[in-house]
Structure 1
Amino acid sequence: MSGAAELVVGLVILVGLIGIVVPVLPGVILIFGAITVWAVFTGGTAAWVAFGIATAVLVATGVVKYTWPGRRMQVAGVPNRSIVVGGLTGLVGFFVVPVVGLFAGFVAGTYAAEWCRLRRPGLAWTSSWHATKAVGLSILVELFGGLVATAVWLTALTQT
């Protein structure tokens, strides 16, 4: 694979990492796709081993991303319905106030859902805060997986 093509793969991976933090683009899919294209066109043992390791890391962190924060929210008593409402209002917020509206909309939507459920502002805020921390944890886990996959790719890139 040429240096320019590898640069494009690296840029797609960078966009994927940004897409994890600012969930506008499917970050993990972009990272996985870029590493897959690189492995196919580069070939060789190092490329395919890197592809296998990156895939395993992305899948593992994908599983942890949904199970670990979900368990924490379940222990805190936050129902899935509140998270769905928060996600939908976050999506609307993203289009009303780009990027920042996503986070503000999520918090506001989760709080509103919890306020309707609990009828006590203090408890609703505590529950919303647990949900917000869980979503942040989910993003960090996914970012960790993306960064490890990127490091694996960079290491293999120097070997080919």
Structure 2
Amino acid sequence: MSPLAELVVGVVVLVGLFGAVVQIYPGSLLVLAAVVTWAVVTGGTVGWTVAIVAVVAVAAAGIGKYLYAGRYLKAAGVPNRTLLVGGVVGVVGFFVVPVIGLPLGFVLGVYLSEWQRRRQASEAWRATLAALRATGWTILIELGGALLATGAWVIGLLVT
């Protein structure tokens, strides 16, 4: 692969890593697409090894984040309906208040849904904090998978 093409792959990987943190677009899938594209073009043992490592890392992180978040929220007593309401209000908030509306809307939606369900402000806030913690962990898990894929790509670059 030409140095310019590798630079483009690097830029896409950086954009993907940013997306894994901000959660506005599927960042880890962007990282995976860039790394696998590099691997296929590069070919050989190194290229295919990097592709396999990247796919396994991103897939494991994708599965792991949902399993962990679901178990954590179930233990905290937060139902799926609450997360759905939080997500919908978050999307509306994204368009009402650009940039920060998504997280603000999510928090507001989870809080209001839990307040309506439990009729107690302290319990609603406890559930909201649990949802925020679970969301934070899912972001870290996804970022970890994307970073492992990125690390495999960097090692592949150094070897080739």
Fold conserved (TM > 0.5)? yes
User: How do residues 1-160 of structure 1 correspond to structure 2 at under 5 angstroms?
Assistant: 1-160=1-160
| More displaced 10-residue stretch of structure 1: 78-87 or 89-98 | 89-98
Specify every segment of 5 or more residues in structure 1 that has no aligned partner in the other structure, as ranges.
none
Give the distance between the partners of 1:99 and 1:80, measured in 2 at CA: 25
Q: Deviations over 1:79-134 (max 9, x none)?
A: 00000110111111112222211111100000000001001111000011101110
Give the distance between the partners of 1:61 and 1:143, measured in 2 at CA: 8
User: By how many angstroms is 1:70 displaced?
Assistant: 1.1
Whether contact under 8 Å (1:58, 1:146) holds in the other structure is yes
Whether contact under 8 Å (1:22, 1:99) holds in the other structure is no
Q: Secondary structure at the match of 2:78?
A: coil
| More displaced 10-residue stretch of structure 1: 15-24 or 90-99 | 90-99
Give the distance between the partners of 1:140 and 1:90, measured in 2 at CA: 20
User: By how many angstroms is 1:39 displaced?
Assistant: 1.1
Specify every segment of 5 or more residues in structure 2 that has no aligned partner in the other structure, as ranges.
none
Whether contact under 8 Å (1:86, 1:105) holds in the other structure is yes
| More displaced 10-residue stretch of structure 1: 55-64 or 97-106 | 97-106
User: By how many angstroms is 1:69 displaced?
Assistant: 1.4
| Sequence identity percentage | 50
Q: Deviations over 1:4-43 (max 9, x none)?
A: 0000001111111111111222112111111111111111
What TM-score, normalized by structure 2, do the two folds share?
A: 0.97
* Aligned residue type for 1:45: T
What TM-score, normalized by structure 1, do the two folds share?
A: 0.97
Q: Deviations over 1:50-87 (max 9, x none)?
A: 11011101111111110011101000100000001101
Q: Deviation above 3 Å: which 4+ runs of structure 1?
A: none
Give the distance between the partners of 1:157 and 1:122, measured in 2 at CA: 52
Whether contact under 8 Å (2:36, 2:54) holds in the other structure is no
Q: Deviations over 1:116-159 (max 9, x none)?
A: 10011110000111011101110110011111110111011111
